[in-house]
Structures are given as C-alpha cells and as structure tokens.
Homo-oligomer: A and B are copies of this chain.
C-alpha cells in the first residue's frame, strides 16, 4: 500500500493512465488537484456524487439510495497509531470513492505493472451513483486496547436482550461499521472491498450484508417502497425536509454527553429474517390487521390514502379499534412511545436459500437516532413483547454504532474521538 499522501484519485470516467487528477480530500498532506473538466455537471446528475464533507455524515438523511453494502469490521491491530492512520487513509479514500473516483493508480507505485493496482478496478467507467460512506464505532472499540474507554458515550449502550432475539454472534457486533449506499450495487461493493483492502492487517471484515430495494424513504421526493411482506414501509419515516425534527430525533446535540459525538447519530442495525413462506399463507385480512395498513394502498385501516393521518381512536361497528391494539403501526408509533421516532433506511435482502428450501430473506434494518436509550430500545422492547408480527420475523443479527458528526476538509473520520 502506498503512503496515503501519494494516493491519487483517478476519474473513473477518464482513461486509465490519465493524469492523476484528484479531488481535494481535505486531509493535510494530500495533494489537491484541479477538478476534471465536466465534473461539475455530475452534481445535478441522478448518477452524480453526494458531497462527502459537511456538518453531518452523508448517508444518514441522504435520500435513500437503492442498494446497500454494509460491513462490520474487527480491529486486528492493537496499536492506536495504526488505527488512527487507517482512519485517515479511509477518509481520504472515501472522499475519492464518493466523488466517483478510483482510489489510485493501476500499479504505478513502483513502476508500471510491478505493484498490485491500488484500486481493484471493477468500478472503472461507472458513475458515482450517489455513493455515500458512513462510519460508526461499536461499543467494543471502547475497551482497553486503544485508550478510548473514557470516551464511550453513555448512549452507546450494549443493546439488551429483547424477547425473541435469536442473534448469531457472527452477524452481530463489530468494532467499526461502514455503511455504503449507492444506486449501483457494483459501486457499493467496490467501495467496501477497497476499504477492506486498505485495512488489511489492521482490520478484518466481521460480517457484511448486501441489500436492495430500500425499505424507507428519507425524503418527500421519494415514493414509499415495499418490503418483502409486500407492504409499503416507512410511510411516516423521518424525512430530510423536517429539519427541526432531525435535530430533536436524529442528531446528537451539544450537551447530550460525549462532545465528540455532537452532530453525529447512533445507528442500530438489525438483521431481521422474515418467514416469508409462512406470511404468504396468511390471509389478506390477517396481514392487514397485523400491520394496521391496507396492503394495496398503504393507507391506515379505515382510511383511503397512504398519507391520511392515523386515527387510533376510530372504532369499527363492533366497537373494536380500526387500528388493532396489537398492530405494528400502533405499537411502533411515537404517540405510544413517548414521542420517540427513528430515521430508518433499511434494505430488503435475499441471501439465497436456507437448507430447508426457504428463501433466506428479510429486512436489514438500519435506524439512526439521537439516543437509543430513549428511542430504539423502548420501542423495540414494546414491539418484542406484543407485536403480532413477531410470529413472522426473527432478529438474527444486531449491532449498535456511534456515528460521529461530519467530516470537514482537513479532518478525518473519528478525529474528535482520538483528539
């Protein structure tokens, strides 16, 4: 691996071997190159780049992209300096990758052809496809290895055992998580692969998960997608247009504790296996009663349109609540959770089949929040206890990560944590 100060991004749209024009990465010591001609036009392009730098990390409120590659890493080095060096290299690479650039030359480090290519190459020619890379630090990073124990935020709790949890330790935890989202899976895979490669000898992939078909919207400009139960998912999700609510519910505020987390957010990731074959044998009426919405329209039961306000007090002629007491949308609603909301940006997954001829399918749930103690944990505690949907789902993987605030030019992922 070359010294990161020499890493030059190559436009994937240009020819290999073109002069090594690179975006400014902002990291001290990195050469800032002029932006390639034609680059500006990408910003307005649906395939274009999402700005990497800013007060918050991209990939949280960013309008949800269509594809996911999520990776959790174990840190294998025990040296704090090596970890910091890696985070600097990763930050520089992430700035290039999200700009739609490869992370370096093809073997030009020690002369043409004599070294491995710096970039693995499978994204050459592909546009940025709105790639975002979002980092988070898991509770285990704050053990004795790196002197970070005193920096662990109180909100970065170990998640409790919820009723019904059936967690696979090999799909849970992780010292560091990187969420790659893009409209092109090859771009997302390329990013995670190259970060893993840069980290060789310092981190190892603990688990990774591909996803498709975003199961939430984070912008009113997006339609509401459907999950693998066939229902619209995320109708009442937090949206990037609701700036005030984001401050209340998503972004860690100064004074929340752990000042290095200001402007950041806490991510809870849950691999939720869906028993879709069993669900598919359930009647439409039962499905709609369990969810609390119409399957076709997505409207709350008793209403006509997806975005009609939910009337939890409405009753049928028989006196029963139109939105049943144990329906998912009631139990998960902020009205019954002390106002707690989550910014969800999960993905559907199908990882082939299991040994019993069933699709290994489900929802890779990703939720960002200001404080899991007040948001995910109480909501999930209630859902795990009473949600009828539990007959059709199992939580089989789990992680919690502290995602710091945004990277400003000149800083790197986690700089305030290690300061």
Contact = CB atoms under 8 A, between A and B. Distances in A.
A124 B229 CA distance: 12
Interface stretch (A236-244, A276-284, A308-316, A377-385): A276-284
Interface stretch (A52-60, A84-92, A114-122): A114-122
B284 A117 contact: yes
A283 B185 contact: no
A212 interface: yes
Nearest to A16: B296
B230 A124 contact: yes
A21 interface: no
A212 B230 contact: no
Contacts of A208: 350, 352-353, 359
B186 A122 contact: no
Interface in A1-21: 15-17
A185 B197 contact: no
A206 B352 contact: no
A183 to B, nearest CB: 11
A115 B355 contact: no
Contact of A117 (B226, B287, B358): B287
Contact of A359 (B124, B193, B230): B193
Q: Which of A117, A282, A297 has the most CB of B within 10 A?
A: A117
B288 A113 contact: yes
A112 interface: yes
Interface string A91-123: 000000000000000110000111111011111
Interface in A107-147: 107, 112-117, 119-125
B226 A125 contact: yes
Contacts of A213: 122, 184-186, 189
A228 B124 CA distance: 11
A297 to B, nearest CB: 7
Interface string A191-225: 01100110010001111111011000000000100
Given A16-B295, A114-B283, A358-B205, A230 B122 contact: yes
11 contacts: A16-B295, A16-B296, A107-B284, A120-B276, A124-B230, A170-B355, A186-B226, A193-B228, A193-B361, A200-B277, A351-B352
Interface of A: 15-17, 67, 69, 71, 74, 106-107, 112-117, 119-125, 170, 184-186, 189, 192-193, 196-197, 200, 204-210, 212-213, 223, 226-231, 276-277, 280-285, 287-288, 295-297, 348, 350-353, 355, 357-359, 361
